[in-house]
Amino acid sequence: MSTEAYEVYRDDWGIPHLRADDPLRLSYAQGRVTALDRAWQLEVERHRAQGSSASFLGADCITWDRFARQARLDDTARRCHEALDPETAAWLRAYVDGVNSGLAEGAARDERFARTGHTPVPWEPWVPLSVWTATHVLFAGFATKLWRQRVARVLGDDAATLFATDGPGTAGSNGWLVPGDRTATGAAIIAGDPHRFIEDPGVYQQIRLSCPEYDVLGLAVPGVPGLAHFGHTGSAAWAITNAMADYQDLYAERLRPTADGLEALGPDGAWEPVARHTETLSVAGAADVEVEVLETRRGPVVIRTGSDGTRPDDGLVPDGADALSLRYPPRVRRDLGFAALPALLRARTVADVDRALDGWAEPVNVVHAADSRGGLLHRVAGAVPLRDAANRLRPVPAWDARHAWQGWAATPAEPVQGFAVMANARGIASPLGVEFAPPHRADRIRELLSGSADWTPQAMAGVHGDTYLGSAGPLLALLPALRDLSPAAGRLRERLLAWDRRMDADSTDAAVFASFRSATVRRLAGDRVFADLAPAPGGPEVFHPWLYLLPRVGYALEGLLTTSLLPGLDRAAHVRAALEETAAADAPETAWSQLHVLTPWSALPDPEAGWPGLGGDHDCVNATSSVPGVTDRAARASAARYVWDLGRREDSLWVVPLGADGVAGSPHHRDQLPLWARCELVPVVTDWARLTKDRT
């Protein structure tokens, strides 16, 4: 397809606005522009999805590559691609053709290719599905079931959900929908922000896609066509948050060797063949690594006792089993819901959005949508299997027929009354999950929205930036009862009780509270009741973030301070000791932002890159997450912020953590970072006359 088949314009922030004669040419243009702007990011994501990133990034990537191969992520994407309808497949193919046409030119812009010696090769048609699968395979947090298995083994079955944080996981989001009767213009406003680990380049790409059939702007995932999560078509808009649904299962497998390979015990008591082969990981600067790939009729084996450091005493694999297999909907259904993507671009009304999302699959999301006619939508979209309740909690025996999948759950919807808020808390998606976010963010958003009946897009920045920390309450509530404190600890107690509970960037009280909280977390984690959970976890390293005790205590602090399941845990003594420790440290006055510094993930980190300090905290609406007890640095925050105005799309606003260009040192690589750090947004530009046409 020739470059004359489309036009590329950019606004003052370098955000691409694409115009073409038809959807296929437009999809091609999206792929090509993404390759020009983000070739390095595309190649990193492709190789991570295919389990080959160690080939140019080195041995640190072996752990992920092994998991990607064993979980059969790329093979799953191929199967889903083979099952696509012809129209969606052609649209996807056009995007891949565009990527391939721009990769070499994009790679020439980025010195990281030369530094690593990596040369991109053409993408296969299914690679966007592979990127999507790899990006979201850990979203539902099936690794939490490994932690619950370990906790139950140490503390008993009743304690399996003891660390249910209803707290930070790998992903969350805020979102709110304000109907027209509560806005200044009489048209609905949708706003919010997805919370993810911040990456460099950013995980969302601001973009506009225009052809005679539609004109849509929103946030794309680089490597994937269309606008899956956040979009505004002019007359309709949508946004999502993670529903916190549980839709992936771990099955405990009994294996036995045979003359031809391996067999697994099935639910009917018969031994079944296990698919088995070996793959080779190439590793830059090191020897190749052989990976055994096994798959039972439940799914790919992701943990096998005796492999990857897993030991019988780890408590990860249940007694009497030899391995754990992963069953996840895209592999079972051969469907990622990609047919919904072009349908969303064509949406003119809420009903159109609703119909498109009926075909959505992965991940499971809560959706807000509105249109210029006054239509409103609040629903869940995605594929959740029907099965025994025990499947949601821990690994279950593959040989027990009670744990087989029995079809698919209905996705709930409810009318919008007043305004709708989605912040990963219990609510519309409660029947589909186990652990949810605490209610603090959702409650605070509702409180803030209730303060006005004439909301404007510009006023929404105040909601995005709110720093009130509701989760501080249970810890602070224990302070008044403490007795016989040292004078310094007594003064610290009074200071904390007088604090306004705002994690403002310039607040020294917020920094003091964070130090006290971390000391409390460390004291609790050191209690003898948790002694058998303290050793470093075994098993594949990719699951270790879910299995370390100290972060688990930090995230579950609020619940651990109030639970009745641990009668031997002397909370008051630990809180008192933490208060004395913090007071004795007599640390100099420090603003919270000096400790709470952004620390993005990058495939090739730049130690010289300077990053800003932030306000907020993991239970604030301005959700900038650290790991209490481990570090105050923030690795997870808003991966984008958006405000969609259904009255005048040109009054909408958005921002990303870095910028539109993925090439370090380019003018638009980090130009939005200062605004994002202050929770400010940049205007959406829709007037073509105000845009600059690319000459390339």
Q: Is residue 509 part of a domain?
A: yes
Judgement on whether residues 529 and 630 belong to the same structural domain of the protein? yes
Question: Which of 327, 356, 383 marks a domain boundary?
Answer: 327
Q: Is 164 part of any domain?
A: no
Sheet order of strands, 301-304 included: 301-304, 323-327, 249-253, 396-397
Residues 349 and 269 in one domain: no
The answer to the question of residue 35 being in a domain is yes
**Which pLDDT score is estimated for 162?**
86
With a cut of 50, which residues of the chain have pLDDT below it? 166-170
Please state the φ and ψ torsions of residue 366, each to the nearest 5 degrees.
Answer: -90, 135
Predicted local distance difference test score (pLDDT) of residue 565: 87
Shared domain for 657 and 600, answered yes or no, is no
The long-range contacts involving 677-681, CB below 8 angstroms and separated by at least 24 positions, are 677/598, 677/612, 677/613, 677/614, 678/465, 679/461, 679/464, 679/465, 679/615, 679/622, 679/641, 680/461, 680/655, 681/461, 681/464, 681/641, 681/642, 681/643, 681/653, 681/654, 681/655
Domain that holds residue 534: 463-636
Q: What is the CATH number of the domain that holds 483?
A: 1.10.1400.10
* 375 and 234, same domain (yes or no): yes
Q: What is the CATH number of the domain that holds 200?
A: 3.60.20.10
Q: Do 221 and 312 lie in a common domain?
A: no
Answer whether residue 163 is part of any domain.
no
216 and 255 within one domain: no
Q: Confirm whether 224 is domain-assigned.
A: yes
pLDDT of residue 413: 95
Q: Give the pLDDT confidence score for residue 4 in this predicted structure.
A: 64
Structural domain contains residue 316: yes
Residue 152 lies in a domain: no
In a domain, 162, yes or no: no
The domain total for the chain is 3
Shared-domain flag, residues 535 and 524 = yes
Looking at the fold, whether 428 and 562 belong to one and the same domain comes out as no
Q: Which of 271, 295, 327 is the last residue of a domain?
A: 327
Q: Are residues 40 and 179 in the same domain?
A: yes
Q: Are residues 177 and 47 in the same domain?
A: yes
651 and 557, same domain (yes or no): no
Query: Which residue from 655, 623, 649 is spatially nearest to 636, judged by alpha carbons?
Result: 623
CATH of the domain at 323: 2.30.120.10
Burial of 609 (0-12, 13-18, 19+ CB in 10 A): exposed
Residue 307 confidence (pLDDT) = 65
- 524 and 410 within one domain: no
Given 607, 636, 665, the domain boundary residue is 636
The pLDDT value given to residue 308: 64
